[in-house]
Amino acid sequence: MTKTYYLTTPIYYVNGKPHIGHAYTNILCDTLARYHRMLGEPVCFLTGTDEHGTKVAKAALAAGKTPQAYVDALVPHFKELWRVLGVTYDFFIRTTDERHKQYVRSVLTDLEAKKEIYKASYQGWYCTPCESFWTELQLKDGKCPDCHRGVDQIEEENYFFKLAHHQAWLLDYIEKHEDFIRPAHRRNEVLGFLRHETLEDLCITRPQSRLRWGIEYPNSKDHVVYVWFDALLNYTSAPHFAIEGKKETDFWPADVQLLGKDIVRQHAIYWPIMLKAMGLPMPRTLLVHGWWKIGETKMSKSLGNVVNPTEIAAKYGVDALRYFLLNEVTLGMDGTYSEDLLMERYSSDLANGLGNLWHRTASMIEKYFDGILPQVEFPQLKQSLMGPSMGLLDLVWGNMEQYDPRGALAEVWQVIQRANQFVEENKPWVLAKDPAPKTDLESVIVTLAETVFRVAVILMIFMPDTAKKILQRLNQPTIGKLIPNSGQFSEIHLVPGTRIEKGEPLFPRLDD
Ligand code: ME8
C-alpha cells in the first residue's frame, strides 16, 4: 500500500490569536499538501495547538480564566482562520486532548524503562519566557542567549532526558542525510553547533510548585512534563488516533515537517534524539522557513507588532494573501511584510496580470463567439503560447519537488505574462474585423482559453478559490490526478461548444 504523504506544521501556542507568521507556515504546508493530492498521493496534513506550559498559563491568568477555559475559547480562532485561508488540514491536534496526554505518559514510561530518562537535582539559570535552562557558559552577558532577557538561578529535582550520549549519532545522521534539514544554510548551522558544542541532557519536567498547567509526569504528583517534550510528541501522537482504521506506521515517518527558524533547536536536536530513543524512524525533511518582519523586527505575539490575516484576507481576498506570502520570499529567507507591498503585487501581478488575462479572454469569447468556445483542431493552435503553457506542469513539479513554491509561481506568471503579450501581438480585435473566415481569430482565442485553463489547473495548488472560479467559468469539471513528465498535461483540452461565463473581475482594481 502507498504510504500516506504526511506533513506537519508546528502546533501553535494558544496565548493569543494567530498572525501572518502562523498563517504563512500553514499556507506553505497547505500548498505542499494540495500539490501532493494533485499528484494523486494519499495525504495527511496535521496542524494543531500547543496548550500547556508557562506561556499559556500566564496568558490565562492575565485574562482571568482557568487555562482550560482560556484555551477552549481561543482554539476556535485558529480553526476559523484555517477555514478562511483555505487550509485543508486533515487533523487538528490539541495537546489537552486526553488521548495525547496518555500517549505522552506512555512514551515517558517507556523511555524511563529504557534508561533514557533519569531523575536528578539540578541547579542552573532559568529563562521564564523561553522556558529554558542555561548553563553559566551559555549565558550571553548574564542574559538568556535566545531572548536576551534576565534569567533566575534555580535549584530543583527534575527528570532528565539523555541528549548528550546521542550527540555523535545525530551529527553523523545529519551529515549522511542531506535532505534532513532544509534549506542548506539551516543544516549547516545545526552541523556547526553539533560539531563545536556539547549537548547537555534536557530537563523534561517542571515542579508542580512552579507550574501546574501541564501533563502530570507518570507516577509523580510533583512534576508536570516540560511543554516542549509534550508538544513535539504531537507529531507521532496524532497518528495514533487521528484517522480511524489507520495506524502510526501508515503515517510516520513524516515526509515533511514545516517550522520557522525560531524552533530549529527543538526540531533538529531534541526531536530526532527523542525519536531515536523511542525506536522510531526519522522524518524525511525538516523544512525551515524564515520570519516575516515588520521593518527589522520579527512579527511576534509577545512584541505585539502583529498583522491580522483575517483582516487582510477580507480586504484583498484570501488568494491575494496566499499569493503574496508564497511569492514574496524564497522559502527559508526572511521577508518584510507591508500592506503597501501587498497592494503593489495585487495591482501588478493579480489585477493587471492574471485578472486582466481572464477578463480579456472571456470578453472576447463573449463578444466574438457569443460566449461559446469555438472548435479549433490542435495543430491550428498557436504553438508560441501552447508550448509554454503545456510545459507548465513539469516546470512547477521541478520547483515543488525542491520545496520552492516561489519558483513555481514565477513559472506560472511567466506564462500569464506571455499570454498577455500574445494578445497584444495577435490583436484579435483587428482579426475580428477581417471579412475572411474567422479561423485565425478562433485559433488565437482558443489558444488563450487553453492557456488560462492550464494556469487555473496549476493554481489549484496555490490559489484555490481563484482557480476554482476560473474553472467554473470555463465550465470545466474538476481535474483528476496529474502526472508530471508524462505528456498528460498537453492532452487535457477544453471542450469546443462549451459556454464560458466572464463573471465579475477576479481581482477588482483597488481604486474601485
Ligand atoms: O513555538 N514569521 O509556537 P508559536 C514566520 N508551540 N513564521 C512565524 C512568525 C513570523 N514572524 N511567528 C510565528 C511555538 N511563526 C511552539 C511550537 S511545535 C511542536 C511547538 C510561525 O505559537 C513559525 O512556524 O510561538 C514558528 O515556528 C511558529 O509560528 C511558532 O509558533
231 pocket-lining for ligand 1 (C-beta < 6 Å): yes
Cα of 62 vs centre of ligand 1, distance in Å, is: 21
**Residue whose CA lies nearest to ligand 1 atom number 12:** 21
Do residues 39 and 486 lie in contact, with contact meaning Cβ atoms separated by under 8 Å? no
Do residues 498 and 472 lie in contact, with contact meaning Cβ atoms separated by under 8 Å? no
How far apart, in Å, are the Cα atoms of 502 and each of 254, 365, 489, 496?
42, 9, 24, 17
Probe ligand 1: pick from 24, 232, 326, max atoms within 8 Å of CB? 24
Q: What is the rounded average pLDDT of the residues 464-488? A: 92
32 pocket-lining for ligand 1 (C-beta < 6 Å): no
Radius of gyration of the CA atoms of the chain, in A: 26
pTM of the model: 0.95
345 pocket-lining for ligand 1 (C-beta < 6 Å): no
Do residues 322 and 23 lie in contact, with contact meaning Cβ atoms separated by under 8 Å? no
**Residue whose CA lies nearest to ligand 1 atom number 4:** 12
Question: Angle at which helices 439-462 and 20-38 pack, to 10 degrees?
Answer: 120
Do residues 313 and 84 lie in contact, with contact meaning Cβ atoms separated by under 8 Å? yes
Residue showing cell 484576507: 313
Give me 222's grid cell: 510533583
Q: pLDDT for 371-405, tens place per residue? A: 999 999 999 999 999 999 999 999 999 999 999 99
Cα of 238 vs centre of ligand 1, distance in Å, is: 19
Instruction: Please name the CATH architecture into which domain 338-512 falls.
Output: Orthogonal Bundle (1.10)
What share of the chain has pLDDT > 70, as a percent?
100
Which among 2-6, 121-125, 340-344 has the top mean pLDDT?
340-344
Which residues, including other chains, have CB under 8 Å from residue 136's CB and lie 6 or more apart?
A: 125
Q: Which contiguous run of DSSP H or E holds residue 94?
A: strand 91-94
Confidence of residue 216 (pLDDT cuts 50, 70, 90): very high
Map residue 400 onto helix, strand or coil. helix
Mean pLDDT computed over every residue of the chain:
95
**Residue whose CA lies nearest to ligand 1 atom number 13:** 21
DSSP conformation letters of 113-139:
HTTSEEEEEEEEEEETTTTEEE-TTT-
22 pocket-lining for ligand 1 (C-beta < 6 Å): yes
